Structure 1
Amino acid sequence: MRSVSNRTRVGLLAAFTAFSALLSTGSATAATQLNGDWAPFDRCPVDAPAMLAADGINTIATCIASSSATGTITLGKTKVSTGDTDLQLGVIQRPDGTASLVAPPEGALTADPAEIPGGLIGLMCPSGIPLVSGICRQLTDNNLNRVTATIEPAGAPRDFHMSAAFSTGEPILTIPVRIHLKNPFLGDKCYIGTTSDPVLLKPQNVTAPSLSLQRFSADGTPNDDEGEMGRYTFDGADQGDATFAVPGASGCGAGLLDWAVNLKTGLPSAAGKNSVTLDATTTYFGSPYDPVGLAPNEGRKLSEFWHSAKR
């Protein structure tokens, strides 16, 4: 790991812990089970062309995995608890400190859907409007009342600031997202935010993580002296953002219920009235211990190591 400084590696890890719960695409295909210290990287896109092309000198292919078990997101008048989330990305690092991201085929994030408190009753009822009051009278079945919210990507992350990753209170990057609300009455196209008018999250470090280093063999077996792979582990960092605005809902009940959702949830909501908090994230950063020594085939060797760790 000599060709990229520890400071650069730390910065990349801090950047990605910040948005592990903010790009959820819902349940994905089953991840590959990997041995030992490779285990957190079970969805790393090691076979993506950009990763395979890394030469170990001008470009270094690495894996990022970040998870958070709990957190909250507040949009207008509605506060929702988040569950388990898992972010995984490939990262192409360059000597000048810049980096590009590579997502797994099924998407960078998976997460447990979050339930809206009170369900559809909490979102729309009671109401004196016949259309809405008619729905409210049918919500005796919990399955009809239940509303889940999943945060999904609405564009590529941007505005990455390496220096902010080492500090607290400074935005690390901008992440466009939208929130998918699911309920039989709302239909399958009910969103808060869109790809053209997304929620723009700018996560920042609230607390600094603790750092440890593991060295392991190509197949994941711990090997402190001669392991081909290295892994930084960051524990306990809290992240958050309270600066983003939230647009109104769209597509709810084929658009007929947008206004009802907006009215009860207080949307659209201006910047400063919304927030996201992620509790105690754990982030792993893995790359060959000596990428220069694998030149010009560092990316291909990373893929080879990853596949050798399959259980």
Structure 2
Amino acid sequence: MAGAGVAIADESSSGSSGSGSLGSSGAAEVDPLTFDGWGTCPIEDLEVTTCASVVVRGGTMKLGALSVPIPDGSLKVAGGVKYATQPDNSFIETFVAKQDGSNGVYSNPISVPGGALGIDTPLGLTQISATVESVGVPDLKVLEQELTMPVRLKLSNPLLGDDCYIGSVSNPINLHLTTTGNPPSEPIGEFPGAVFPAVPHSDAVFAAPGASGCGPLGALNWAVNLRGGVPAASGKNSLTTSSDVYAVAARKVRPPA
């Protein structure tokens, strides 16, 4: 489902009911996203053999001229994984999102220091909220601890209107987060399965498209591009995160037949 939002309407109280964003200092306060069980795993699909959740615990995103601290609990990717065996006995992993309109990507507001002008104003008139919207189902490889996500950022401000984006369905920001080494796992506790705590992920090769649809007939695209330093080619952007990765065999979650 292209352009899916990242609100979590059906999460438990430990999740968020707000939409995901790279917002400003005036972004709405919401509870940090956290691991709250396997409710987002599509266990009704009997080919799903693993349930997985990736909860971002912190990091930094550099997008063109912007440098944005990523707080704990601002992003979660959750769903199920199918496996297929190849002739060489290798596995192909396919991520499956729950059919809730999220594409398996859930997010909370983050603050962008300086808002529209690069400085914080007393009344917050230049504050910008930028909602992370998935434009396709992520590719989560649990065995390799890799995550690929096509996203766009919806920028919101009274002057920008309701159709202002960096990235699009046809030209998204393609994030490919990888890690190194073999992260150790720990038991989850009251839930079956295990967690790989504080897994470091990074991507420094994605490109950031320019703005579109900002202001009447796109009249403010130039202002967004100037403030954000976009479009920004590969090598001028980066994302580093520390995440807890949860995994469990779906048979341990699926009710008995």
Q: TM-score, length-normalised on structure 2?
A: 0.75
Deviation string, structure 1 residues 223-276 (Cα, Å, up to 9, x no partner): xxxxxxx51210121101001111101111131100111122211111101000
Higher strand share: 2
Distance of 2:105 and 2:241 partners within structure 1: 15
Tell me, which stretches of 5 or more residues in structure 2 are unaligned? 15-34
SS of residue matched to 1:151: strand
Tell me, which stretches of 5 or more residues in structure 1 are unaligned? 1-22, 55-59, 126-138, 167-171, 221-229, 289-297, 306-311
How has the CA–CA distance of structure 1 residues 303 and 146 changed in structure 2, closer, same or farther, with 3 Å as cutoff?
Answer: same
Offset of residue 106 of structure 1: 3.7
Offset of residue 122 of structure 1: 2.2
Aligned residue in 2 for 1:113: 109
Alignment of 1:159-198 (within 5 A): 165=144, 172=146, 174-198=148-172
Distance of 1:151 and 1:214 partners within structure 2: 28
SS of residue matched to 1:145: coil
Q: 2:128 aligns with which of 129, 133, 147?
A: 147
Aligned-CA RMSD value: 3.1
Q: Is the counterpart of residue 88 in structure 1 residue 88 in structure 2?
A: no
Q: 1:261 aligns with which of 224, 228, 248?
A: 224
Aligned residue in 2 for 1:286: 248
Distance of 2:114 and 2:92 partners within structure 1: 45
How has the CA–CA distance of structure 1 residues 257 and 214 changed in structure 2, closer, same or farther, with 3 Å as cutoff?
Answer: closer
Paired residues, number:
225
Aligned residue in 1 for 2:50: 62
Distance of 1:145 and 1:270 partners within structure 2: 26
8 Å CA contact retained: 2:165, 2:212: yes
Aligned residue in 2 for 1:28: 8
SS of residue matched to 1:262: helix
How has the CA–CA distance of structure 1 residues 200 and 272 changed in structure 2, closer, same or farther, with 3 Å as cutoff?
Answer: same
How has the CA–CA distance of structure 1 residues 73 and 25 changed in structure 2, closer, same or farther, with 3 Å as cutoff?
Answer: farther
In structure 1, what residue type is equivalent to 2:80?
G
Q: 1:241 aligns with which of 188, 203, 207?
A: 203
8 Å CA contact retained: 2:5, 2:132: yes
How has the CA–CA distance of structure 1 residues 46 and 24 changed in structure 2, closer, same or farther, with 3 Å as cutoff?
Answer: same
Identity %, equivalent residues = 32
Query: Which one has a bigger Cα radius of gyration?
Result: 1
8 Å CA contact retained: 2:6, 2:134: no
Which segments of structure 1 move beyond 6 Å, counting only runs of 4 or more? 160-163
Distance of 1:177 and 1:68 partners within structure 2: 16
Q: TM-score, length-normalised on structure 1?
A: 0.63
Which range moved further: 245-254 or 85-94?
85-94
Higher helix share: 1
